Structure 1
Amino acid sequence: MTDPEEFDVAVEGGQLRVCQWPGDGPVVLAAHGITANALAFTRLARELGGRVRLVAPDLRGRARSNALPGPYGMASHAADLIAVADHLGAERVTLAGHSMGGFVVASTAALHPERVEAALLIDGGVTLPVPPDVDVDAVLQAVIGPAMQRLGMTFAGQEEYVGFFRAHPALRDGWSADVEAYVIRDFTGDRSSCSLEAVRADATDTLIEKDTVDAVNRLACPARLMWADRGLMNEKQGLYDESRLAGIEIATEQVADVNHYSILFDDRAVARVAGRIVEMAAGHTARR
């Protein structure tokens, strides 16, 4: 399996760019993280090997959808995912979301339960407690570190941009052609393609907005959170642990020996994620 097929879908405000890896199974829509892009799922697509039809947009304000205007936030991303499902003629879909994409998935399933068969959250979708008057930029800097820092930086060219990521402690040890392609897709001109306005708006939504924060506990479909035991800088404390997930109303599953990013690129972890996606999508097929 090589590069995905790409096409545009009409959404509010313009065109959403979408990547598709063909398959014989049901449609699975994937949503990426807050400063990421659709190619975050390339390694997963190869592992799935056509067992499902994996479809991932560059979310509004990122990569080849970066010209799309606001409003941003999870409700807008959910509407965009439903527009993609409509474009594909898919009445019901299985959803998978990484990092902020987990909140996109949970919000889509909560807002459009009649369209969602199952939801897999990958190290995201569950908000950690923050005060209501939080400084969003400060939280973003504390949580995603270099990923946020780069949005205000310029680079001499693609090679320098790739080098910035190759030094990232969560990526350097597992660097691959898939990671590099994902990084390059984000580079435009002399900087990241990500809209800082979109990133701030989406972060505010996932941290504070009650409907978004509570979405994970309002799901009518089968749902599961797979969480990495290491964090965004490869630190020992990940975003989640058993105590932080106490009271969550969906199934949870730890993926050991990976961090927030490598859960989508490490061979063993990706095999587990792919297995869960196939399992959840198979429920869709069985109920047809």
Structure 2
Amino acid sequence: MSRVLKSPGQLVRAMVDDLVTTFFPADCRVCGGPLPGAGLSPLCDECVDALREQLAELCARCGEALDLDGVRFERQMEGAGVLCGPCRMVPPEFERAAAWGVYADGMREAIQLLKYERAESVARPLGRLLARVIERMGAEGMGRELVVIAVPLFQAWQRQRGYNQSVLLAEEAVRKLGRSGASWRLRAAHGALIRTRKTESQFGLSSRERRRNLRGAFTVKDPAAVSGCEVLLVDDIYTTGATARECARVLRHAGASKVWVATVARAQKEMIARWGAQDEMEAVAGD
């Protein structure tokens, strides 16, 4: 047995897995299948592997899925990618927003476990996907020294939840990149940006109304932490972009040289349209 497992440590791990799954069986919280190991994650390996990267043609600025046959899209310049209508009409103050997958199916269930059911361990596999997003953005011109800031929750919401899921995701991604030997210098400064007031639900609001709803909701508490620096803003979901736009505006006003936005998932418009009212309200709560 030890020869097959290569080391005594692997043998012990296999024995622990057998004991746990025999006496304390658990099921994957997404697919309902049995969890084979003694890990803390409530997701099985198959469900994690099913969280696929987006393959659609995306806006080069905000990551919206594009219908290239539509008349509202145009190429910026040769080799510069395509912008969606909103990014052409009202350019965001961030350089680029990128997400790993679409906020649907297993991805949606995994993020809701993290946000609403106190399944903090889900941040580990999702944080590893976030690290891949950051690596990809690094190849697209992102700087090598960045201040990492998670989108803050309103204090009452964070006390109720017990944690900020975006902070957990950012910390896991930074750990992953550190272990991989990446050349970035990532300095966390989550407390530099704070949410100063509770905002109304974004459900049913137009894009302009969403931006107005968030106006003044964020402030930079520590301008020295971001002044002259490139900032990597981290969140779980990019829904309409109102939160990312407002945070980027505030950070740039405080002196950040550039703002990049990385999220695990992106809610595409055609999928938002199919959600019921309650699901929409849940999704835009973090935006």
**TM bucket by the smaller chain?**
0.3 to 0.5
Larger radius of gyration between Structure 1 and Structure 2: 2
Higher RCO, 1 vs 2 (CA within 8 Å, ≥6 residues apart): 1
| TM-score where L is the length of structure 1 | 0.32
| TM-score where L is the length of structure 2 | 0.32
